[in-house]
């Protein structure tokens, strides 16, 4: 080992001080059932080859699916995981049905094509989304015990974009990092997905989010700003989200450069034949993003335009089988098979066939000699997060004689600029790139390859790890100085509010102005909060409206602030200065509501509470035995639906309302239009703060014309239409105090 290699080895030992908890879709081996036993084989792929050596060096935990359904594991008597020094493996069991929906479904039929810009191949299916989110939660639950120990949890790739969110729920103080190995698309492509905002929230629950190259990180920052309204610092690559500062980094993954170089050196010099046939090599997993079919057409075009290469080149395409049971992948392989056969049939001569086609997976000991022997590597994916084949080929070129032809759509192209960079969709351009590579002068070949090898060696997998972990440590160090959730919301709202002379502030009661309590009758407004509301009511640039599911008189009595507008019964009753509404649905469905109450009382569930308001019924199960809550809720839902009432589930409560198109959102718009006219958006700002599912109607009604804040810790379950979040009622009071002081500017005209 030379001095340079010894120095690099010493550097790696110096940074290998912290254990890692690695969370990925797969463990670094695949389990297969053979009879009554389960065997394990090492998994191929860039993630495993890049990370597993590092984990073994540092020590830690690898969490993932073993690659076999739970049913087969149980039939074979379970799974015995291997043991390695300093490394522990934790399997996340998945049934075959879960795999089909979470992995084959949402991950690979939805996220994979969309993130690679194949929008037409993207499947939009709510059932696969629900399973994807549930499986992400299961991964988080497996990682939670290690996160509590303070170890860094590093979540890998597109299959687990929601895992940081669920882990943050379980362990609020966890150290979480996330890295996306595939491209992150431009916002206008990403927003095609109905759950794009949920995925963003999942990723932003990490302390640091890593991407392969700058353009992917920039797309993510744009999406956070445009889709979630986050404040972003593009220069520093910071996102402020739910009171936390998230670091965004571009850190391209790499290979174990020394390992590939040593395997190439062990191969020995290549023996050239007298005919001097030039070897072109392609190595890809079977996938439509890899551009294998287009590449074959480029080889065909080369032979058409430059006939002198006939008999003088051989293109070897090594195709690693993948997802062969998926219909579209089987169809792709048939197309490749047919194209190979057609080209060989068209150009083959005695003793020479232009395309050598291999469908298999090779271990590094057999693959690296292919790299070393190839005069040209043809790496032309239609879209790729990075592409480690390009880097492996470079490090295998010990004699500096090869040329890399590389797609500009691969993340690697941003690093490996000395390659012959081509557009993979342009068959003529790829053919011209091949011609240039094959005819390149030796001095240029050696110069380009020398520069490429230098860069890959300098930025190897160990440098990737050091760089990413340094970013994670920096993100953790920033926590002490970050601003509060209220400061973040206030800074974002201030310029928006200042653009109008007045603001209408809508406030829910339970869970927003007061904490959620076991007995709703105990939810009293504190004197401090009432004083803040009184001050807000006296500000001429601020109108306060209380919106509650409680009966109108109940919420008016509890708040006790005169001269403001009160909205009760989820909007069915409104009363304020110059404004009054008693919705006609109250009388039309009075009998159905009364009969529902009688039947709910007849259930006789111990601990349940029934609250009858003029327009609604609330069936509370907070004090019902835990094992009986679900049954009690289901029984209540059946009764309510029998009388054709509108049913809504909240926090340990089921509510029934008249089945009319009226809710908190409609009531909010009613107040705004009757108070300020149809052109109210041009005259005032509307801000709604609430905490429950019933407030989502108001969030949705104001989306695009107002602003909304959902109250609850960042772990508040489920998606929301609100633009912002605040952790608890104390933060709401702090924000209202700022609004009451009028710091955002403007006075009512």
Return the active site residues.
508
Can you tell me the distance from the alpha carbon of 149 to that of 297, in angstroms, rounded to the nearest whole number?
54
Reading the block at residue 534, the tokens are 């009184």
User: Which residues 6+ apart lie within 8 Å of 114 measured at CB?
Assistant: 122, 185, 189, 190, 192, 193
Residue 537's CB is within 10 A of a number of other CB atoms, namely: 16
User: Which residues 6+ apart lie within 8 Å of 494 measured at CB?
Assistant: 743, 744, 745
Q: Which of 339, 369, 368, 365 has its CA nearest to residue 354?
A: 339
Can you tell me the distance from the alpha carbon of 737 to that of 739, in angstroms, rounded to the nearest whole number?
5
Angle (CA) 121 127 132, round 5°? 80
Distances (CA, A) of 312 to 347, 379, 452: 12, 20, 27
For 348-414, where are the alpha helices, taking DSSP H only? 364-373, 388-396
Helix (H) or strand (E) holding 469: helix 461-478
Can you tell me the distance from the alpha carbon of 225 to that of 534, in angstroms, rounded to the nearest whole number?
35
For 479-551, where are the alpha helices, taking DSSP H only? 485-498, 527-537
Can you tell me the distance from the alpha carbon of 373 to that of 368, in angstroms, rounded to the nearest whole number?
9
Buried b (16+ CB within 10 A) or exposed e, 310-327: ebebbbbbbbbebbeeee
Distances (CA, A) of 378 to 67, 159, 318: 31, 28, 11
Residue 179's CB is within 10 A of a number of other CB atoms, namely: 22
Helix (H) or strand (E) holding 341: helix 327-347
Angle between helix 461-478 and helix 3-15 axes, rounded to 10 deg = 30
Residue 501's CB is within 10 A of a number of other CB atoms, namely: 15
Burial of 77 (0-12, 13-18, 19+ CB in 10 A): exposed
Can you tell me the distance from the alpha carbon of 236 to that of 46, in angstroms, rounded to the nearest whole number?
29
Can you tell me the distance from the alpha carbon of 27 to that of 725, in angstroms, rounded to the nearest whole number?
36
User: Which residues 6+ apart lie within 8 Å of 9 measured at CB?
Assistant: 1
Can you tell me the distance from the alpha carbon of 439 to that of 529, in angstroms, rounded to the nearest whole number?
79
Helix (H) or strand (E) holding 448: helix 442-458
Total count of residues recorded for the chain: 749
SS3 94: coil
CA 253 from chain center: how many Å? 19
Q: Which of 464, 388, 553, 30 has its CA nearest to residue 210?
A: 464
């Amino acid at each position: 080992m030379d001095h340079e290699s010894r120095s690099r080895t010493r550097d790696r030992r110096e940074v290998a001080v912290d254990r890692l908890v690695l969370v990925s879709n797969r463990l670094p081996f695949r389990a297969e059932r053979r009879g009554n036993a389960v065997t394990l084989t090492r998994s191929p792929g860039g993630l495993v080859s890049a990370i597993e050596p590092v984990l073994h060096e540092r020590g830690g935990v690898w969490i993932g699916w073993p690659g076999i359904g739970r049913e087969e594991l149980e039939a074979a008597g379970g799974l015995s995981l291997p043991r390695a020094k300093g490394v522990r493996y934790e399997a996340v069991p998945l049934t075959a049905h879960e795999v089909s929906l979470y992995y084959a479904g949402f991950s690979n039929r939805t996220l994979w094509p969309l993130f690679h810009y194949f929008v037409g191949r993207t499947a939009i299916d709510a059932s696969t989304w629900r399973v994807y989110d549930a499986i992400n939660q299961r991964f988080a639950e497996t990682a939670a015990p290690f996160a509590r120990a303070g170890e860094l949890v590093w979540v890998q790739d597109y299959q687990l974009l929601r895992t940081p969110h669920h882990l943050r729920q379980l362990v609020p103080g966890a150290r979480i990092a996330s890295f996306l190995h595939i491209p992150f698309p431009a916002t206008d492509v990403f927003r095609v997905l109905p759950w794009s905002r949920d995925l963003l929230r999942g990723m932003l629950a990490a302390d640091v989010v890593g991407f392969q190259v700058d353009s992917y990180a920039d797309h993510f920052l744009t999406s956070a700003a445009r889709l979630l309204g986050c404040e972003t610092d593009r220069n520093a690559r910071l996102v402020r989200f739910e009171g936390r500062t998230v670091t965004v980094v571009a850190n391209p993954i790499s290979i174990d450069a020394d390992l590939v170089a040593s395997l190439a050196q062990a191969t020995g010099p290549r023996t050239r034949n007298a005919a001097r046939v030039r070897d072109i090599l392609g190595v890809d997993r079977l996938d439509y993003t890899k551009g294998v079919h287009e590449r074959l057409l480029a080889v065909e075009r080369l032979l058409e335009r430059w006939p002198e290469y006939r008999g003088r080149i051989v293109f070897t395409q090594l195709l690693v089988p993948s997802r062969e049971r998926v219909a579209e992948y089987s169809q792709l392989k048939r197309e490749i098979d047919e194209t190979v056969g057609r080209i060989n049939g068209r150009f083959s001569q005695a003793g020479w066939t232009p395309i050598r086609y291999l469908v298999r997976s090779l271990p590094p000991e057999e693959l690296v000699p292919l790299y070393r022997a190839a005069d040209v590597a043809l790496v032309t994916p239609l879209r790729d997060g990075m592409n480690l084949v390009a880097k492996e080929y470079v490090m295998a070129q010990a004699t500096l004689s090869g040329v890399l032809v590389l797609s500009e759509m691969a993340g690697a192209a941003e690093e490996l600029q000395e390659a012959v960079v081509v557009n993979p969709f342009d068959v003529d351009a790829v053919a011209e790139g091949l011609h240039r590579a094959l005819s390149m002068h030796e001095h240029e070949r050696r110069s380009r390859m020398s520069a490429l090898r230098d860069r890959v060696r300098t930025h190897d997998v160990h440098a990737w790890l050091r760089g990413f972990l340094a970013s994670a440590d920096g993100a953790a160090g920033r926590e002490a100085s970050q601003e509060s959730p209220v400061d973040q919301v206030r800074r974002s709202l201030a310029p928006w509010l200042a653009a109008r002379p007045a603001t209408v502030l809508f406030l829910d009661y339970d869970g927003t102005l007061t904490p959620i309590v076991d007995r709703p009758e105990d939810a009293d407004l504190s004197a401090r909060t009432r004083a803040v509301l009184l001050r807000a009511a006296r500000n001429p640039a601020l109108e306060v409206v209380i919106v509650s599911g409680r009966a109108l008189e109940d919420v008016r009595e509890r708040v006790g602030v005169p001269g403001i507008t009160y909205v009760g019964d989820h909007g069915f009753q409104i009363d304020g200065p110059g404004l009054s509404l008693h919705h006609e649905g109250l009388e039309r469905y009075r009998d159905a509501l009364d009969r529902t109450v009688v039947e709910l009382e007849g259930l006789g569930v111990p601990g349940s509470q029934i609250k009858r308001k003029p327009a609604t019924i609330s069936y509370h199960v907070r004090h019902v035995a835990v094992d009986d809550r679900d049954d009690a809720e289901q029984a209540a839902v059946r009764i309510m639906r029998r009388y054709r009432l509108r049913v809504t589930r909240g926090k340990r409560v089921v509510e029934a309302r008249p089945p009319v198109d009226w809710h908190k959102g409609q009531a909010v718009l009613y107040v705004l239009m009757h108070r300020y006219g149809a052109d109210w958006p041009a005259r005032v700002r509307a801000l709604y703060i609430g905490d429950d599912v019933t407030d989502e109607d108001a969030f949705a009604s104001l989306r695009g014309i107002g602003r909304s804040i959902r109250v609850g810790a960042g772990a508040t379950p489920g998606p929301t239409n609100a633009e912002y979040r605040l952790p608890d009622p104390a933060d709401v009071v702090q924000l209202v105090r700022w609004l009451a002081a009028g710091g955002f500017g403007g006075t009512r005209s």
